[in-house]
Each structure stands twice: as C-alpha cells, then as structure tokens.
Chain A
Amino acid sequence: GAGVSQTPSNKVTEKGKYVELRCDPISGHTALYWYRQSLGQGPEFLIYFQGTGAADDSGLPNDRFFAVRPEGSVSTLKIQRTERGDSAVYLCASSLSPQSSYNEQFFGPGTRLTVL
C-alpha cells in the first residue's frame, strides 16, 4: 500500500520568501506529525494533528510557521518570510492513532529545504 508521501522532495528558496510543504499520510491514519531535522540532530517535534485539529503546536519555533490539515488527511506546513536558519529536512509522519502500537510512526521521505 502507499506510504507517507511528501512534496516537494527538495525546495530551494531565497531569504524572505514563502514556502509550502505538503504531506500525504497513510489512508486512515488519524494522527499526523511534522518534525524538523537539522544536521547532526534528531528530528525535532513541530506540530501534531489529531484529525483536523492541531492537538499540540508547541514545537513551532515562531509565528512564521503554520500548518493546516483541513480535511483530516493531507497537511501543509507553511513558512513565511523564510530565514537561512530554516534550512533543514522537514519530515512528516503519521500513525493510526497515538494509542495504537505505542504511537509507532510511519515517515515520509522528507522535504529538504534550503534557504539562500
């Protein structure tokens, strides 16, 4: 079956521009997570959706970052006025629910964002 997909796989943008990163989770998975992974570090939690609502957005670094999941499936991570420090791999993961399989997560391949 189809796994988690993310588009684009690579995105190069200029400082100050707006970007959108898309995640298509596994069908039927109610929980969706966004992480950011910088060089030499593990995935850092950004935001988690249960269904359509953001259950926990405490990891979003500032108000330039925003994410939506309007129909409870596809999610978009939006970054305004990008800065060079936003350059990272953005990972999306989904799980059937946090209670199933002890919240085992299924990851997409990530979007590598480079801000020049």
Chain B
Amino acid sequence: ILNVEQSPQSLHVQEGDSTNFTCSFPSSNFYALHWYRWETAKSPEALFVMTLNGDEKKKGRISATLNTKEGYSYLYIKGSQPEDSATYLCAFCRKTSYDKVIFGPGTSLSVIP
C-alpha cells in the first residue's frame, strides 16, 4: 500500500507567525513530489514540483525542501497572512508509475487576523 502522509492535520496560527508542515512518502522509486494549495471554493493550485534530493523551491513567502532519501518534504510559510488560509496538499509520483499521482490527506491552515 502506497501511503502519503501529512502532518499536522490542521493548524491555526496568528497573522505574522511563521509555520511549517510535513509530507512523508515512500523513499524508494521516487519520481516527483508536488505541493498544491486548495482554497475554499477554488481549484487546487500548483505551488511546487520537486524532483531532486535536496531541492529547495521558493515562491514569495512560501518555500519547500525535499529529502528523497528519507522520504519527506517540508513546506514553510514565513509571516503568515489570512490569504494563506487553505488546505495544502502534497502528491507523490513513483518512477514506475509516474502517470498516477497519490495525494496526502492535506494540512488545513487557518491564519487568524
């Protein structure tokens, strides 16, 4: 069974706080790891595609790191804003079946003004 896990399940932070959450995935047969942001009543939106061990990606106040050897990725948000409130999904692709994407359960972030 292929499991992608995310923690915490939900998170409430004050505006201005920095936060991070974790995605863990099988460390073997790695192809790619995707991060998506899903705001209520909108479509999930791609944040990052990560493919190499040690990758670090940044978009504004959001950044992500990747460790394929141990099977985890961290997403960091610096100085959280209310508009960052969303569910953050990670999704894993295996090399032997890269056409199939396995999603984690998501981390729901609420930023309190």
A: which residues have CB within 8 A of B?
3-4, 31, 33, 35, 40-45, 48, 50, 55-56, 91, 93, 98-99, 101-110
Query: How many residue pairs, one in A and one in B, have C-beta atoms under 8 Å apart?
Result: 68
Closest chain-B Cβ to A33's Cβ sits at a distance in Å of 7
Closest chain-A Cβ to B107's Cβ sits at a distance in Å of 10
Which residues of chain B from 13 to 66 have any CB-CB distance to chain A below 8 Å in the complex? Answer: 31-32, 34, 36, 41-46, 49, 51
Closest chain-B Cβ to A36's Cβ sits at a distance in Å of 11
B104's closest neighbor in chain A, by CB? A42
Q: Give the size category of B's interface with A.
A: 20 to 34
Instruction: Give CA–CA (A3, B44) in the complex, Å.
Output: 12
Q: Given that A102-B31, A102-B93, A109-B43 are known contacts, is A44 also in contact with B103, CB under 8 Å in the complex?
A: yes
B: which residues have CB within 8 A of A?
4, 6, 9, 31-32, 34, 36, 41-46, 49, 51, 89, 91, 93, 98-106
Closest chain-B Cβ to A9's Cβ sits at a distance in Å of 9
**Pairwise interchain contact A101-B99, C-beta atoms closer than 8 A:** no
A112's closest neighbor in chain B, by CB? B41
Instruction: Give CA–CA (A2, B7) in the complex, Å.
Output: 34
A6's closest neighbor in chain B, by CB? B43
Closest chain-A Cβ to B22's Cβ sits at a distance in Å of 14
**Pairwise interchain contact B101-A33, C-beta atoms closer than 8 A:** yes
Q: Given that A42-B89, A42-B106, A43-B89 are known contacts, is A103 also in contact with B101, CB under 8 Å in the complex?
A: yes
**Pairwise interchain contact B98-A45, C-beta atoms closer than 8 A:** no
Q: Given that A41-B105, A42-B106 are known contacts, is A103 also in contact with B98, CB under 8 Å in the complex?
A: yes
A5's closest neighbor in chain B, by CB? B43
> What residues of chain B lie closer than 8 Å to A106, measured between beta carbons?
43, 46
> What residues of chain A lie closer than 8 Å to B9, measured between beta carbons?
40
Instruction: Give CA–CA (A105, B92) in the complex, Å.
Output: 12
Pick from A4, A56, A93, A103: contact of B32, CB under 8 Å? A103
Instruction: Give CA–CA (A50, B98) in the complex, Å.
Output: 13
